[in-house]
Amino acid sequence: MKKNSNVIFLSGILVAAIFAGIGSYSFANYSREKEETNIEEDFVQESTNEQSAQTALATTQNSVEVNKIDKSEASAPVIPVDFDKLQKTNPDIFAWINVPGTKIDYPIAQHPTDDGYYLKHGANGMSSSHGCPYIELCDTGSFKEFNTVVYGHNMKDGSMFAGLHSFEDKDFFNKHREVKVYTKEHAFTYKIFGAVMYSDAHIPYYYNDNIESDRTAFIKSLTTDSVADRSYIDKDVKVTKDNYILTLSTCDAKLRNNRYIVLAVLTEIDGQSAGK
């Protein structure tokens, strides 16, 4: 009887240890997943706090301190992202993108050597199937070149750039036409002028920003290299070879040899007209 009791006791300890191990493993994986997929929430919350503080400051217009603010400081761009803190997490992150009406509200990264790195790594630099929106090395990251192409995964859970496919609905396209991009120095506002089921051609390879004829050819290709019944171009928005364009690119679940792109033209920098 005593031997059987010992066996039962030891079996109980073994089962408890197994469940403890499973629990620890599950918690570790849950923590890692939460960290890599929700990094943006920390900075969105900080943005809200910063905007609240700025609003409070603006309401005290009669105070002596506010009256002493230099005009150049008062007109400084509002950057609702703590880039100093963000870049301590990952120095590859240099910008933030927000597309109202979608879940797209993420950091943008650029790896210093590997264009494909952020296909399989999250904003925190850890391995992740979600990846992170990114630009390639051929782009300067200034958003002041003819065409800045930002890539992101079309995730089944609706995250990353899956929201771009909302623009396939014409009513949605007509109602949601703005994109916001922030860097440490500037706030950029864009107007969406196209949502196109495009070819899978590597845009920066085929269209060189520094060649005038290539810039013109790219604009033309938006109608010649697209799937007409899944594309919209607002011809009332004038876009020329001299504009600054933002191209948001993701894949399509049905047409594997195509890319779905949403295109926007720069209209404002730091609240002032982009002048083009």
Give tens-digit pLDDT for 40-83: 544 444 444 434 333 332 332 333 333 333 444 446 899 999 99
pLDDT digits (tens, 9 = 90+) for 125-149: 999 999 999 999 999 999 999 999 9
The arrangement of secondary structure in 38-273, i.e. its CATH architecture, is Beta Barrel (2.40)
Pair type for strands 93-98 and 105-109: antiparallel
Residue 110 carries which DSSP code?
Answer: -
| Separation CA 33–CA 265 (nearest Å) | 35
- For residue 11, the model assigns a pLDDT of 46
| Boundaries of every domain in the chain | 38-273
Q: Assign 173 a pLDDT band (cuts: 50, 70, 90).
A: very high
* Rounded CA separation 184/89 (Å): 15
pLDDT tens figures, 231-271: 999 999 999 999 999 999 999 988 989 999 999 999 999 99
